[in-house]
């Protein structure tokens, strides 16, 4: 495609365009403070109850990603103190280990087990090894989704690929 | 046996883990991994390999439905080879402890070495053809990693890529051959193939040719030999392990094992024997020309592999007997020589023949070891090489006069280059110097016991095989039942009377002596006979051509504007879908019962889609796209699939966020030039893909098999203990799929991460530009007064 260039005006500041990140926006910040905790809690709830009600690691992971992106955009810093990409191998390892344990015990690979415990505090309570597998899925989704989003946030405007447009 | 194969893999992980604290001592740990392989010597010595005995077999079910099990079968040949791998693997691990620099990356070296050793053991022991192919490919991959270990050097990278490309080509051949064989023979187990059926099958010849392709590429036969010399870029212990004793012999193993299937065909011997002899000649001819000791050994390996190939290719008991004997001898002397060259390199700092002389004064023990091994390689008595060469001549004499002539010529050249190798120990000592004339090593002295012990053991083996031929014969006889030469009556002697083979040997010696005597003239002749074209040149031209073709293809297809790419994609998908619908006319079912609440949602979806088309602002377009997504979520909800709805909802939310994030880098929405003529094409394409998608969905409404959902509904709580069937399916019933999916997600994250980093690397660093992603990094603000790039301009109009 032929390039169409216009005379440049170096002195003129670029007007904000749709999609430019809103930095230091007080409204966004205030809302995010409340929303972040709520969304994170809900994400964890989804992860927890996934076995018996709609939810699960994947959905919970996505929701966490949403919450963290919101936090990052509003506060200009990540709520996560580590490089999200580092969560991915741990998640993979966790899921794989959950699968390997029954295999080493002579059961089919990834066979899950469950049971019931009754404690005074919680009443009857079901545990399932599937939760660990789901936790692995959760970590992978959070790690992958966040590193993708952060990568996009971090791309500098002058880092355009030559030749596009 | 299963333990012998699996332990190296486990230990590889362990070594990777412990390499940092252990440093070079990781090598001792690595050597332990080969202990079960060494213990296979017990069944080898026992009765299980006698003609009447039943071979050892261990079966671990894996995917029995596909005939894919880890079946390890220890017949004499497999066991002998496994022990060989164990011995050389142990020695290479121990040797490398003393050889490698303490700064080497042991966390890579030993795991790679062990992975390779494990795959090689799997390859020789596996009875299952599919698993055999798997191990075969794993040896290709791991040798790629090993050759490219010093990946900062471009030669190492090139060598690794070359080795991988060529052996992967053969690997594809093997995959096809294995598939054909198991189809024709009715089993995926090598030992249970119906040989009569295979021989009668029309698939016989294709399978034979494909097997040969695999064997020739792996064992560096002409014209695929070119990868082996460049593979010498690997560290020397690796060369000793991979390229003298094990990896390249994988092809020989294949020919030996499959020879029992294909040997009945004249085509088999007709291809292998001439090609093997040609490789023997060409390899030794080239070896004589080399001035680098390791390159000399590399070409020597090529030539010796040709010899082994030719012998196994004869497909008679005599040939197999001779080949197995030579296999043992070759493993002993070649690994010893590699270790010796490693010592010379380590102690003097060079491997150039012209730089080295008189080393016997400085390295007396090394001299003795090198002498023994080289004499065995040259085929001189009283060493093992002599005995197996006599057998080789014997077999070739029976094959024909042309064959024996090439064999004698090749062996004479072998004698000459062996002499060349030993010559560096004679004469007066000169300190090796570099290009500037400075001495490479201030003080050349004998190597320590860690370096000397492994070659000493092997050289002792080479000597033992010669002076006590009964030991070799006993070992060779272990293989008799497996390779079908138990009935062969030949025996091994140092002196077997004046036979035609002995006369051929005398001719060889005369020729070899002449070659040594006139070495300067021979060298001049070799330089004059240099061919203008080489297979390496052909390889490079092929690669270049492939690169040119690929980039041409990419510029034609990927360089297009996004709408054009979309047009192509849609058209292709439409053509394929249309063809499918046309070929298999579907009976369309009436719509099932849908809740009435879906109808308004459908209207919403359509409205959203139309809205995207008409919107002139990107923000509107994204919101409208979101409408279709959220609408689908609503539809799922209406059809009582809350899990799906929730997933769709969140996916949609994340998509919208990502969209917004990339907004600032996109050109204006109406910036792309639109020609009127394109509208017609677009309308047709859009209409066709819409109709096609609808047809496809309608067609899929018809059940081709009874639905499996009732099973899940019934068993979800019983088996998985969860009331949410979807989740139970995801984490239990089909947990393996989920595992695969998260691996995909992980790979995507990895790819995006590298792309972003790659894009950053090519530019001048700015203050916010660090490779590490610190969590507190500020979001880069668009520079306000900076020069806008042309794309900025374009966007803003």
| A13 min Cα distance to partner chain B (Å) | 5
| B154 min Cα distance to partner chain A (Å) | 28
Confidence check: pLDDT of A29 > 50: yes
The span from the CA of B542 to the CA of B556, in Å, is 21
Of A14-18, A77-81, B146-150, the one with minimum mean pLDDT is: A14-18
| B768 min Cα distance to partner chain A (Å) | 9
Residue A22: per-residue pLDDT: 58
Judge contact between B460 and B379, C-beta under 8 A: no
Q: B47-66, pLDDT tens digit by residue?
A: 666 666 667 788 887 777 77
The span from the CA of B229 to the CA of B166, in Å, is 13
Helix ranges (H only) for B33-75 are 35-39, 41-45
**CB spacing of B722 vs A114 below 8 angstroms:** yes
Q: B292-323, pLDDT tens digit by residue?
A: 888 898 899 999 999 999 999 887 888 889 99
Nearest CB neighbour to B749, from listed A110, A112, A144: A144
Confidence check: pLDDT of B495 > 60: yes
| A121 min Cα distance to partner chain B (Å) | 22
Residues 6+ apart with CB under 8 A from B644: B633, B636, B726
Residues 6+ apart with CB under 8 A from B344: B293, B351, B356, B359, B363, B366, B424
The span from the CA of B344 to the CA of B359, in Å, is 9
The span from the CA of B662 to the CA of B756, in Å, is 13
Q: In the predicted model, what is the mean pLDDT of residues A5-21?
A: 52
**CB spacing of A157 vs B664 below 8 angstroms:** yes
The span from the CA of B96 to the CA of B236, in Å, is 8
Nearest CB neighbour to A152, from listed B658, B772, B788: B658
**Which chain B residue shows the shortest CA-CA distance from A136?**
B742
Residue B797: per-residue pLDDT: 34
B570 vs B497 pLDDT, higher one: B570
CA nearest B111: which of B31, B12, B14? B12
3-state secondary structure of B5: helix
The span from the CA of B511 to the CA of B525, in Å, is 16
Residue from B70, B716, B727 to probe the interface with A (highest A Cβ count within 10 Å)? B727
Which pTM does this prediction carry? 0.74
For chain B positions 549-578, those within 8 Å of chain A (CB to CB) are: 561
CA nearest B723: which of A125, A153, A109, A49? A49
Chain A residues near residue B664 by CB distance under 8 angstroms: 17, 19-21, 157
Confidence check: pLDDT of A38 > 60: yes
Chain A residues near residue B658 by CB distance under 8 angstroms: 148-149, 152
Residue from A28, A49, A58 to probe the interface with B (highest B Cβ count within 10 Å)? A58
The span from the CA of B611 to the CA of B621, in Å, is 7
| A127 min Cα distance to partner chain B (Å) | 9
Give the residue extent of every domain in chain A: 22-153
Q: In the predicted model, what is the mean pLDDT of residues B168-188?
A: 90
CA distances from B604 to B597, B607, B625, B635 (A): 12, 5, 11, 10
Chain A CB within 8 Å of residue B597 CB: no
Segment holding A135, helix H or strand E: helix A130-154
Nearest CB neighbour to A147, from listed B723, B752, B772: B752
**CB spacing of A110 vs B732 below 8 angstroms:** yes
Chain B residues near residue A63 by CB distance under 8 angstroms: 650
CA distances from B788 to A10, B22, B662, B669, B780 (A): 7, 54, 18, 19, 16
CA distances from B142 to B25, B335, B713, B776 (A): 22, 19, 45, 40
| B776 min Cα distance to partner chain A (Å) | 5
Query: How is chain A split among helix, strand and coil, in percent rounded to 5?
Result: 55, 5, 40
For chain A positions 38-97, those within 8 Å of chain B (CB to CB) are: 46, 50-59, 62-63, 65-66, 69, 72-73, 76-78, 80-83, 85, 88-89, 91-92, 95-96
Q: B655-704, pLDDT tens digit by residue?
A: 888 887 777 666 665 555 566 677 788 888 888 888 877 777 777 766 66
| Half-sphere exposure in the Cβ direction for B797 (13 Å, CA) | 12
A73 vs B606 pLDDT, higher one: B606
Residues 6+ apart with CB under 8 A from B334: B240, B244, B245, B297, B300, B301, B304, B373, B377
Chain A CB within 8 Å of residue B767 CB: no
Confidence check: pLDDT of B28 > 70: yes
The span from the CA of B358 to the CA of B379, in Å, is 24
The span from the CA of B480 to the CA of B473, in Å, is 10
The span from the CA of A83 to the CA of B772, in Å, is 9
Helix ranges (H only) for B485-617 are 500-517, 519-528, 535-557, 562-583, 598-614
Query: Would you place residue A159 in the very low, low, confident or very high pLDDT band (cuts 50, 70, 90)?
Result: very low
**CB spacing of A160 vs B789 below 8 angstroms:** yes
The span from the CA of B778 to the CA of B603, in Å, is 44
The span from the CA of B9 to the CA of B119, in Å, is 8
The span from the CA of B292 to the CA of B735, in Å, is 54
Structure tokens belonging to residue B672: 């792309």
Chain B CB within 8 Å of residue A140 CB: yes
| ∠ CA B654-B657-B662, rounded to 5° | 125
For chain A, the farthest-separated pair of C-alpha atoms sits apart, in whole angstroms, at 76
Chain B CB within 8 Å of residue A154 CB: yes
**CB spacing of B796 vs A134 below 8 angstroms:** no
Q: In the predicted model, what is the mean pLDDT of residues A36-44?
A: 90
CA nearest B133: which of B100, B179, B66? B179
**CB spacing of A10 vs B785 below 8 angstroms:** yes
**Which chain B residue shows the shortest CA-CA distance from A135?**
B731
**CB spacing of B673 vs A1 below 8 angstroms:** yes
**CB spacing of B727 vs A55 below 8 angstroms:** yes
Confidence check: pLDDT of B443 > 80: no
Confidence check: pLDDT of B558 > 80: no
Confidence check: pLDDT of B188 > 50: yes
CA nearest B26: which of B40, B43, B37, B12? B12
Average predicted confidence (pLDDT) for chain B:
82
Q: Is B434 exposed, middle or buried (0-12, 13-18, 19+ CB in 10 A)?
A: exposed
Total number of residues shown for chain B: 797
Q: B777-789, pLDDT tens digit by residue?
A: 344 434 333 333 3
Chain B CB within 8 Å of residue A28 CB: no
DSSP string, B107-158: HHHHHHHHHHHHHHHHHHHB-BHHHHHHHHHHHHHHHHHHHTSSTTSHHHHH
**CB spacing of B783 vs A158 below 8 angstroms:** yes
Q: What is the 3-state secondary structure (H, E, C) of B158-172?
A: HHHHHHHHHHHHHHH
Q: In the predicted model, what is the mean pLDDT of residues B553-560?
A: 77
Helices (H) and strands (E) in chain A, counts: 4, 2
Residue B210: per-residue pLDDT: 92
Judge contact between B79 and B40, C-beta under 8 A: yes
**Which chain A residue shows the shortest CA-CA distance from B760?**
A159
**Which chain B residue shows the shortest CA-CA distance from A137?**
B742
Judge contact between B319 and B395, C-beta under 8 A: yes
Chain A CB within 8 Å of residue B796 CB: yes
Chain B CB within 8 Å of residue A6 CB: yes
| ∠ CA B426-B427-B432, rounded to 5° | 90
| A133 min Cα distance to partner chain B (Å) | 7
3-state secondary structure of B69: strand
Nearest CB neighbour to B776, from listed A4, A73, A77: A77
Residue A46: per-residue pLDDT: 87
Judge contact between B360 and B345, C-beta under 8 A: no
For chain B, the farthest-separated pair of C-alpha atoms sits apart, in whole angstroms, at 101
The span from the CA of B258 to the CA of B267, in Å, is 13
* Residue found by looking up tokens 């046996």 in the block: B1
Backbone angles phi, psi at B57, to 5 degrees: -145, 135
ipTM: 0.79
Structure tokens belonging to residue B771: 């490779």
Residue B68: per-residue pLDDT: 76
Q: B73-104, pLDDT tens digit by residue?
A: 888 888 888 999 999 999 999 998 888 888 87
Residues 6+ apart with CB under 8 A from B403: B273, B274, B277, B310, B396
């Amino acid at each position: 495609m032929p390039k169409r260039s216009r005379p440049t005006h170096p002195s003129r500041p670029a007007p904000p365009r749709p999609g430019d990140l809103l930095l230091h926006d007080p409204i966004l910040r205030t809302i995010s403070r409340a929303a972040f905790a709520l969304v994170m809690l809900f994400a964890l709830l989804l992860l927890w109850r996934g076995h018996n009600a709609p939810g699960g690691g994947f959905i919970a992971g996505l929701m966490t990603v949403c919450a963290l992106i919101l936090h990052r955009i509003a506060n200009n810093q990540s709520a996560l103190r580590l490089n999200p990409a580092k969560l991915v191998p741990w998640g993979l390892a966790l899921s794989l280990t959950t699968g390997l344990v029954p295999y080493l015990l002579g059961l089919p690979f990834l066979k899950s087990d469950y049971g019931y415990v009754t404690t005074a505090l919680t009443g009857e309570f079901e545990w399932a090894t599937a939760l660990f597998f789901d936790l692995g899925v959760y970590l992978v989704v959070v790690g992958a989704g966040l590193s993708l989003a952060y990568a996009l946030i971090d791309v500098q405007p002058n880092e355009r690929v030559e030749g596009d447009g | 046996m299963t333990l012998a194969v699996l332990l190296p893999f486990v230990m590889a992980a362990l070594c990777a883990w412990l390499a940092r604290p252990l440093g070079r001592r990781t090598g001792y740990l690595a050597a332990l991994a080969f202990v079960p392989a060494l213990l296979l010597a017990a069944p080898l010595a026992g009765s299980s390999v006698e003609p009447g005995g039943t071979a050892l077999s261990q079966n671990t079910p894996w995917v029995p439905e596909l005939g894919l099990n880890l079946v390890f079968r220890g017949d004499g040949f497999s066991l002998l080879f496994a022990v060989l791998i164990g011995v050389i693997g142990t020695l290479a691990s121990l040797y490398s402890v003393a050889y490698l620099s303490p700064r080497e990356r042991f966390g890579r070296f030993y795991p790679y070495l062990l992975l390779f050793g494990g795959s090689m053991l799997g390859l020789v022991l596996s009875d299952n053809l599919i698993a055999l192919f798997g191990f075969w490919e794993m040896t290709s991959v791991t040798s790629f990693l090993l050759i490219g270990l010093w990946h900062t050097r471009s030669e190492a990278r090139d060598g690794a890529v070359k080795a991988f490309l060529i052996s992967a080509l053969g690997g594809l051949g093997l995959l096809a051959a294995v598939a054909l064989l198991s189809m024709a023979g009715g089993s995926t187990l090598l030992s249970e193939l119906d040989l009569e059926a295979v021989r009668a099958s029309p698939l016989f010849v294709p399978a034979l040719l494909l097997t040969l392709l695999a064997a020739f590429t792996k064992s560096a036969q002409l014209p695929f030999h070119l990868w082996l010399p460049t593979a010498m870029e690997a560290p020397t212990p690796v060369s000793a392990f991979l390229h003298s004793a094990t990896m390249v012999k994988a092809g020989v193993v294949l020919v030996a094992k499959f020879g029992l299937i294909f040997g009945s065909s004249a085509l088999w011997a007709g291809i292998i024997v001439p090609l093997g002899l040609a490789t023997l000649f060409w390899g030794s001819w080239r070896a004589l020309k080399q001035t680098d000791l390791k390159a000399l050994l590399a070409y020597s390996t090529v030539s010796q592999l040709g010899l082994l190939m030719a012998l196994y290719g004869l497909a008679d008991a005599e040939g197999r007997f001779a080949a197995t004997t030579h296999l043992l001898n070759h493993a002993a002397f070649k690994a010893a020589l590699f270790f010796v060259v490693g010592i010379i390199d380590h102690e003097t700092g060079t491997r150039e023949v012209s730089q080295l002389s008189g080393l016997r004064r400085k390295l007396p023990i090394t001299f003795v070891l090198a002498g023994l091994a080289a004499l065995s390689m040259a085929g001189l008595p009283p060493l093992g090489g002599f005995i197996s060469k006599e057998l080789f001549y014997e077999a070739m004499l029976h094959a024909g006069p042309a064959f024996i002539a090439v064999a004698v010529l090749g062996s004479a050249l072998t004698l000459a280059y062996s002499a060349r190798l030993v010559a560096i120990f004679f004469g007066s000592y000169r300190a090796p110097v570099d290009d500037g004339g400075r001495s490479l090593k201030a003080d050349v002295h004998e190597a320590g016991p860690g370096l000397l012990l492994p070659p000493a053991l092997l050289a002792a083996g080479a000597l033992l095989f010669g002076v006590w031929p009964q030991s070799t014969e006993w070992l060779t006889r272990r293989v008799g039942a497996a390779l079908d030469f138990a009935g062969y009556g030949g025996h091994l002697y140092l002196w077997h009377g004046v036979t035609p083979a002995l006369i051929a040997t005398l001719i060889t010696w005369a020729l070899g002596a002449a070659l040594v005597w006139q070495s300067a003239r021979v060298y001049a002749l070799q330089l004059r006979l240099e061919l203008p074209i080489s297979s390496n040149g052909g390889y490079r031209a092929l690669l270049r051509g492939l690169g040119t073709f690929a980039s041409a293809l990419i510029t034609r297809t990927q360089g297009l504007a996004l709408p054009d790419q979309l047009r192509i994609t849609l058209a292709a998908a439409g053509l394929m879908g249309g063809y499918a619908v046309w070929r298999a006319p579907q009976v369309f079912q009436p719509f099932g019962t849908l809740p009435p609440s879906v109808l308004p949602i459908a209207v919403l979806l359509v409205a959203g889609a139309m809205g995207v088309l008409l919107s002139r602002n990107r923000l509107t377009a994204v919101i409208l796209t979101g409408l279709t997504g959220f609408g689908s979520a609503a539809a799922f909800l209406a059809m009582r699939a809350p899990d799906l709805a929730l997933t769709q909802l969140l996916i949609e939310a994340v998509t919208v966020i990502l969209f917004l994030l990339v907004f600032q880098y996109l050109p204006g929405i109406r910036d792309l030039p639109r020609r009127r003529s394109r509208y017609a094409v677009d309308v047709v394409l859009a209409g066709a893909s819409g109709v096609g998608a609808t047809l496809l969905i309608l067609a899929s409404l018809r059940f081709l098999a009874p639905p499996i959902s009732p099973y899940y509904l019934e068993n979800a709580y019983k088996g998985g203990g969860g009331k949410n069937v979807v989740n139970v399916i995801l984490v239990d019933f089909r947990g393996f799929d989920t595992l695969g999916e998260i691996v995909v997600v992980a790979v995507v994250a990895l790819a995006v991460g590298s792309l972003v980093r790659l894009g950053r690397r090519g530019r001048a660093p700015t203050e916010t530009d660090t490779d590490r992603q610190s969590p507190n990094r500020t979001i880069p603000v668009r520079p306000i007064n900076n020069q806008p790039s042309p794309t900025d301009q374009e966007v803003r109009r």
